[in-house]
Amino acid sequence: DSGVTQTPKHLITATGQRVTLRCSPRSGDLSVYWYQQSLDQGLQFLIQYYNGEERAKGNILERFSAQQFPDLHSELNLSSLELGDSALYFCASILTVRPFSYNEQFFGPGTRLTVL
């Protein structure tokens, strides 16, 4: 158990819909990363937040947005869903007492999104 929680574990929805994925980082971790992993694919970095502020953006679609709240939990909002959005979505948290790239990332169990 990494200490990172993600809800829901599974999500099945239809094309055109909007969903929200939730992530709670490890206690004390200030930074959250979001990743998308399509079937048997690698990890695609989406976005990073640090202490409530967006710090880096990867290949995140305009239909996707995220935020980190004062209690440090984060939500990833996916709208106008398409079949191709079906994937595993992971969040990871880090402590950040060192420069970002030197921190090991603790991954949550992921949310499996299926768009029908």
Partner 1 sequence: GQQVMQIPQYQHVQEGEDFTTYCNSSTTLSNIQWYKQRPGGHPVFLIQLVKSGEVKKQKRLTFQFGEAKKNSSLHITATQTTDVGTYFCAPGGTGGFKTIFGAGTRLFVKA
* Least distance from partner 1 to the Cβ atom of residue 102, Å: 6
d(C-alpha 30, C-alpha 49), whole Å = 8
40 binds partner 1 (CB under 8 A): yes
Q: Which of residues 63-92 bind partner 1 (CB under 8 A)?
A: 90, 92
d(C-alpha 77, C-alpha 58), whole Å = 15
108 binds partner 1 (CB under 8 A): yes
Q: Is 41 helix (H, G, I), strand (E, B) or coil?
A: coil
Cβ–Cβ under 8 Å, residues 31 and 50: yes
Which residues of the shown chain bind partner 1 in the complex (CB under 8 A)? 2, 33, 35, 40-43, 45, 48, 55-56, 58, 90, 92, 99-102, 104-110
